[in-house]
């Protein structure tokens, strides 16, 4: 840090802001950025499981470094425990979804685990063409339902004849 950049303002607040901005810039430029692995799409991975995943990775690195049978056995033991915790967490999560009585959650979870996308089936339109275009299908259904009107005459309604007088003629 060059000392000529230090605050030279008269007021204390201005000096403090300038100093804290310089320190923040220095810390940001010299700190080590370590990417963290998060599991946001897997809700059954808890912070405890994340810690064990990190510990398992460290045990594997230790085994690779020293090639000790003890390190390998520790890694395998933790790996087996971790696999069981993840299975139990997933089963608990799925049973919570099923018992939630919220059909939206259930169908969202089921659809997210389907191998193919759920889409509208192909439908044969009246002219014999097979289509899965939603607009054409909706248009065709509307046309069939609302445009074919029976050829019936509306009933005759006797209307009262209009009077020849206005209201102003009746009021004195």
Instruction: Please tell me whether the overall predicted TM-score, pTM, comes out greater than 0.75 for this model.
Output: no
Q: Look at residue 1 and tell me whether its pLDDT is greater than 60.
A: no
- CA dihedral sign, ordered 163, 167, 171, 172: negative
- What is the predicted pLDDT for the residue at 148? 62
Mean pLDDT of the chain: 81
Residue 74 zone, left/alpha/beta (φ > 0; ψ -120 to 50; rest): alpha
Q: Look at residue 39 and tell me whether its pLDDT is greater than 60.
A: no
Q: Look at residue 160 and tell me whether its pLDDT is greater than 70.
A: no
H or E element that contains 123: strand 123-124
Averaged pLDDT for residues 72-95:
96
């Amino acid at each position: 840090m060059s000392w000529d950049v230090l605050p030279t303002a008269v007021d204390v607040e201005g000096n403090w802001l300038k100093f804290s901005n310089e320190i923040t810039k220095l810390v940001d430029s010299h700190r080590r950025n370590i990417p963290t692995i998060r599991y946001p799409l897997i809700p059954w991975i808890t912070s405890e499981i994340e810690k064990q995943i990190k510990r398992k990775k460290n045990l594997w690195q230790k085994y690779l470094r020293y090639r000790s049978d003890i390190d390998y056995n520790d890694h395998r033991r933790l790996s087996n425990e971790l696999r069981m915790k993840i299975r139990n967490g997933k089963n608990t999560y799925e049973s919570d979804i099923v018992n939630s009585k919220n059909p939206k959650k259930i169908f969202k979870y089921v659809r997210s685990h389907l191998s193919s996308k759920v889409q509208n089936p192909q439908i044969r339109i009246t002219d014999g063409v097979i289509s899965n275009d939603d607009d054409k299908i909706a248009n065709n259904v509307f046309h069939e339902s609302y445009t074919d009107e029976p050829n019936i005459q509306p009933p005759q309604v006797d209307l009262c004849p209009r009077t020849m007088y206005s209201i102003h003629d009746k009021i004195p």
